[in-house]
Structure 1
């Protein structure tokens, strides 16, 4: 296929926009005689008359306007390609943007990033911390190279792999009426209790809501946007809380909080690395590999 060069397409589009070959030549940095020869070559190649020549200058024919519109679409795709090349080149040159849910960012990502740093000292890693819904939005929008979430379902267009299985635990203060109940409580009883919960959109909240689906839920005692805030409120007696085992482990080990078994629901979720396919070789893929291998 004998393809026209992009400069010729730029000139054709400029003629259509400016309705003047000389003005189009100036815009594209082309000498007037060369601009005329470029259009003539296109006319010979395509066997279509592109310009109407008159004493006032030259404008596109109806066929020329139609082809100029197609040429503009080609140029737009070429600009998209160049932007993608620059994005990939920037990543390969040493920049990775990772978006992680709060639990993953606080308890798992630091070890992964430390290991990544040892093998990629030249790569600048930027970690964005937000809830799982926002991580997925940023991944879909192309605002991050790799993401880590606490939700099992991924939107179309994203790939994923498990990095860990995380249990959620119900915790209460040692003087709460549920503390010390070896047989625990059932899901209906948990749903009927005002809880201190994470915000909607967080993986922790989504897992809890799914676990209690089918049971009437009372309004929460408090809704907070960080693990630390939920943990602090539960410790202060604001109400029971359901949080990742990673989050509550130290408080339970110290005796400041007690765990309560919950019957009849599954308080467990898979933590995932997510990416936009294909997962091509590079620093972002290496970070995913470190996270996935850490779960083995």
Structure 2
């Protein structure tokens, strides 16, 4: 019988794309993750991960085994959640995964107000920040009760609810030529420009690509190669401010930089890019902590104000 931790490791590599990213998500060392993979490879009798100078990725057999592993991990997680709920009904810790914009700019205030409600479990929240694709994978695997994402692409196998809409804006450093342009930027110009952007799986990037495809009929594959491909909103913001190139970011993420003058907003002439902020959860979890509903009530109250 395969080791459950090894199966979790393989499922994490599938969700996050590499051994190093899986190690960070699981809170393990890369060495520990590699050891688990090698042990599983010996048991299965096939190479599950291809390793090269460029990094690591699942092999063809690895993708197949990861699909089976995901089912086992989800079942084990549901069992663990159910047992935890039996031990302490209503007070199980709330496990939340949130995309980076939500985690950095909205979740702190929500968690403060959640704690003030005194709901069971409201003082024991485990928060994981990741891009939208990784958040969906974590919720699907059953390791998190709620996920908050910014992507327009919501999977059919998860329950979801749209909480609000977020505006994306074009920003540049104060020395960039666009900072001083006399006319608004057209969507065609934006589609033809290399940007500082987030990695694949980012909700910000997915929303921009969807808007350009719908408005200018330019598919993501035809967009210019990015000036820089970065893993966090903060890195994109700093790189754009340094003058490397334009970026498209959430207004939530750049509001302070715009006020400080380290970034300049470039108006768009013919396009307004918005994206939904949504909460997702798995319909297969046996029980969601009481604090989950309390958190959603806090967010709904925020939206009304």
Taking structure 2 as the reference length, what is the TM-score of the superposition? 0.66
How far did 1:87 drift?
Answer: 4.2
Higher-Rg member (1/2): 1
How far did 1:194 drift?
Answer: 1.2
Cα separation, partners in 2 of 1:82 and 1:169, compared to 1, 3 Å = closer
Q: Which of the numbers 270, 292, 295 marks the counterpart of 1:284? A: 292
Cα separation, partners in 2 of 1:94 and 1:82, compared to 1, 3 Å = closer
How far did 1:182 drift?
Answer: 4.8
Aligned to 2:4: none
Cα separation, partners in 2 of 1:295 and 1:165, compared to 1, 3 Å = same
Secondary structure at 1:153's aligned position in 2? coil
Given that residues 164 and 270 in structure 1 are in contact (C-alpha distance below 8 angstroms), is that contact kept between their aligned partners in structure 2?
A: yes
Question: Deviations 1:42-85 (Å, cap 9, x if unpaired)?
Answer: xxxxxxxxxxxxxxxxxxxxxxxxxxxxxxxxxxxxx9986553
Given that residues 163 and 292 in structure 1 are in contact (C-alpha distance below 8 angstroms), is that contact kept between their aligned partners in structure 2?
A: yes
Question: Deviations 1:253-279 (Å, cap 9, x if unpaired)?
Answer: 112211111233331111111122388
Cα separation, partners in 2 of 1:95 and 1:155, compared to 1, 3 Å = same
Cα separation, partners in 2 of 1:283 and 1:133, compared to 1, 3 Å = same
* 4+ aligned runs moved over 4 Å, structure 1: 79-84, 278-281
Counterpart Cα distance in 1 of 2:247 and 2:297: 33
How far did 1:251 drift?
Answer: 1.1
How far did 1:94 drift?
Answer: 3.2
Q: Does 1:108 align with 2:94?
A: no
Cα separation, partners in 2 of 1:273 and 1:182, compared to 1, 3 Å = farther
Q: Which of the numbers 73, 80, 85 marks the counterpart of 2:82? A: 85
The aligned runs of 1:128-139 (5 Å cut-off) are 128-139=128-139
Q: Which of the numbers 214, 236, 241 marks the counterpart of 2:242? A: 236
Given that residues 182 and 261 in structure 1 are in contact (C-alpha distance below 8 angstroms), is that contact kept between their aligned partners in structure 2?
A: no
Shifted more, 81-90 versus 125-134: the winner is 81-90
How far did 1:178 drift?
Answer: 1.5
Given that residues 96 and 126 in structure 2 are in contact (C-alpha distance below 8 angstroms), is that contact kept between their aligned partners in structure 1?
A: yes
Cα separation, partners in 2 of 1:158 and 1:182, compared to 1, 3 Å = farther
Counterpart Cα distance in 1 of 2:104 and 2:281: 20
Shifted more, 196-205 versus 174-183: the winner is 174-183
Aligned to 1:188: 188
Listed as ranges, the gaps of 5+ residues in structure 2 are 1-75
Count how many residue pairs are aligned between Structure 1 and Structure 2: 219
Question: Deviations 1:120-144 (Å, cap 9, x if unpaired)?
Answer: 3762100011001011111111110
How far did 1:293 drift?
Answer: 2.7
Counterpart Cα distance in 1 of 2:77 and 2:233: 40
Question: Deviations 1:62-117 (Å, cap 9, x if unpaired)?
Answer: xxxxxxxxxxxxxxxxx998655314335722311000000000000001100111
The aligned runs of 1:4-19 (5 Å cut-off) are none
Secondary structure at 1:170's aligned position in 2? strand
Aligned to 2:258: 252
